[in-house]
Amino acid sequence: MIKRKFIYIFLIIITTLSILGCVFHMQLRGFTKVGQVDEWGLYEKQSDSCATLLESVYSDGTTTYYLPCISSQYYLVKKGLKEYYIIDALDEEIITIDDAMLYFPIFPWQPTEE
């Protein structure tokens, strides 16, 4: 009887920890949810520093879109256990560049013709 109670308590504790781990997984990694596009959550990780070079994240042939510094590893798109960095999410067409620009500091640049 005592052994059975111990097993039940152990299973309850393991289940609770698993659920909490799933719920707070992104927060434990330092990411904050900033938006939702369809079933995909958009997450951002704050950083105090990043290289001051522009980072290209997407191009549609006429316009190139940039992050203000090299920081694409701080922007994730996630659904369930699937997660993509912003560059991969755009390449895989999981979200559109317009959706990404709503939640992440991405800006367009179009070269001028001389």
Q: Confidence band (pLDDT; 50, 70, 90) for 67? A: very high
Beta strands in the chain (DSSP E): 31-37, 40-45, 55-59, 64-67, 75-79, 82-85, 107-109
Contact 84, 77 (CB under 8 A): yes
Structure tokens at 37: 């596009």
Q: Structural domain boundaries of the chain? A: 30-109
Q: pTM here?
A: 0.73
At 2-30, the pLDDT tens digits run 778 778 887 887 777 666 555 555 666 78
At 73-108, the pLDDT tens digits run 999 999 888 999 999 999 999 999 999 999 999 999
